[in-house]
Amino acid sequence: MRNALKRIWALIERDMRRFRASPALMVVSMVLPLVQLVVLGYAFGGKIKNMEVGVVDRDHRVPAVQLREMCSAVAANAKTFETISYSDQRTALQDLRNGRINAVLNIPPEFSRKVLAGQNPNIALIEDNTDQFSSSAVTESLTEMLSTYNAKKIALRRTGTVSLSVVEVYPYVPYIQFLLPGTIVLAIFVSAMIGGGIIYIDDKARGLHEGYLVTPLTKFDLIMGFNLAGAIKAMLSGLVLVTIGSLIAGIPDPLNLLRLGRMLILVVFTALALISMMFLIMVRVNDPLVPRAIFGVLNTVLFFPSGAVYPINAFPPWMKAIAVVDPFTYAVHGFKSLVLKNTGLAAIGGDLLFLGTFALLAMGAATLLFRRTL
């Protein structure tokens, strides 16, 4: 047993020395996920502002002027959109089609008369719905504005009003913080993919493993050595994301030692689960193109169904089924609990149990499938 540990450690040491000698590899596996966190976090996280809405006022009387003034108020305060006045609808629609403006608000000629007569007139909002995010934001903003406009006119029969007070358990979570747990898991996966996939198969193809197979290393020594070496590198990536990622994303009290300690435990379990999975997938592969070819697909199949970017409850049943067996799901859930809710280990006990069991089963299967001969 002592000799087995020495041999396993020799394999780990070799990998660590190679890792140290390849700064480019360290950059790829640690810094790129951080870049992704920042870019994705800010790309999806902000409120949509400064859109341009063309206003075609074909009425020009007081109620219509009031409506235009309210639009100007939105432009001055919330800044969701700015208004551009058009004298005719045709030019406005042409600009909409040419992408110069995001929507056209059409106030019809009889608008004011109908308002004053209490006939509930319509105003038309013509949107560029090729961009659902922008059109939804314009619709939402104008709907809110019209509610205010209408409130002044509606006489309430009830003397009291009912309002909903929302109490949020946690402080406001910007999208970049919501994305951080998934990004930590993704960084660990990228390291596992490089260490357990690409480098492992490249070494095999270059004949490096032939050098090991003629030594007294057992199948277990080899699988454990490769797994642990890969897991250590994946852990380093995970730890960089946990600390620096938390600072970048603005997680409150990011260097809380107790939370970092809990996250370290989850990083270890996640790294072991993902590297074991990679070895299981690659154990019979010899062609260096295979890990490169499946990298993107595997990333998509594992990352997106995990709930890292969108809630699992919104998925169709087949995608929910993937989420149930996907180690990403449990890792992401665990990191969400620790990063966003600052829970204790009890809250992620189920996640740790799944990841630990998954790692053991994958490592056992990889050992069984591993060939000690060429």
Partner 1 sequence: MDVEVDNLTKCFGDFCAVDHLSFTVNHGELFGLLGPNGAGKSTLIRILTTLMPPTSGQARIIGHDVVRSANEVRQAIGVIPQAMTSDLDLTAQENMAIFAKLYCIPREQRKRTITELLEAVDLVQWANKPVKMFSGGMRRRLEIARGLVHEPKIFFLDEPTTGLDPVSRVSVWEMLSRLKKERDLTIIVTTHYMDEADRLCDRVAIVDHGKLVALDSPLKLKASIPGQNVIEVSFATVPEGWTSVLEGLPDVAEVKAEDRVFRIASHNGPRTTGALIDEARQAEVAIASLSVQSTTLDDVFVHYTGRQLRDTLQAPANSESPFMMRRER
202 binds partner 1 (CB under 8 A): no
Please count the other Cβ atoms lying within 10 Å of the Cβ belonging to residue 94: 14
Q: Which is nearer to partner 1, 108 or 288 (by Cβ)? A: 288
In this structure, what token pair is assigned to residue 59?
Answer: 């009425």
Cβ atoms of 265 and 345 closer than 8 Å: yes
Residue 239, helix vs strand vs coil? helix
How far apart (Å, rounded) are the C-alpha atoms in residues 232 and 235?
Answer: 5
Choice from 160, 171, 207, 296 touching partner 1 (CB under 8 A): 207
How far apart (Å, rounded) are the C-alpha atoms in residues 338 and 256?
Answer: 11
Choice from 48, 93, 126, 205 touching partner 1 (CB under 8 A): 205
Binding window for partner 1 (CB under 8 A); candidates: 39-47, 52-60, 254-262, 366-374: 366-374
Place of tokens 């790829």: 28
194 binds partner 1 (CB under 8 A): no
Q: Which is nearer to partner 1, 278 or 331 (by Cβ)? A: 278
- Give me the amino acid identity at 44: F
288 binds partner 1 (CB under 8 A): yes
3 binds partner 1 (CB under 8 A): yes
Would you give the binding string for partner 1 spanning residues 208-227, x where CB under 8 A is met?
x-xxxxxxxx----------
Binding window for partner 1 (CB under 8 A); candidates: 2-10, 67-75, 103-111, 124-132: 2-10
Q: Which is nearer to partner 1, 68 or 292 (by Cβ)? A: 292
> Looking at the chain, how many residues does it have?
374
CB of 252 to partner 1, least distance (A): 41
- Residues 7-36 touching partner 1, rule: CB under 8 A, are 7, 9-11, 13-14, 17-18, 21-22
Residue 144, helix vs strand vs coil? helix
> How is the beta sheet containing 124-127 ordered, strand by strand?
81-86, 51-57, 103-107, 124-127
CB of 280 to partner 1, least distance (A): 13
CB of 374 to partner 1, least distance (A): 4
Q: How many residues bind partner 1 (CB under 8 A)?
A: 33
70-76 long-range contacts, Cβ below 8 Å, gap at least 24? 70/145, 70/148, 70/149, 71/105, 71/145, 74/141, 74/145
CB of 304 to partner 1, least distance (A): 25
Choice from 79, 97, 284, 341 touching partner 1 (CB under 8 A): 284
108 binds partner 1 (CB under 8 A): no
Distances (CA, A) of 32 to 16, 26, 27, 36, 139: 20, 10, 7, 6, 37
How far apart (Å, rounded) are the C-alpha atoms in residues 117 and 292?
Answer: 69
Q: Which is nearer to partner 1, 18 or 58 (by Cβ)? A: 18
Residues that bind partner 1 (CB under 8 A): 3, 6-7, 9-11, 13-14, 17-18, 21-22, 205-208, 210-217, 284-288, 290, 371, 373-374
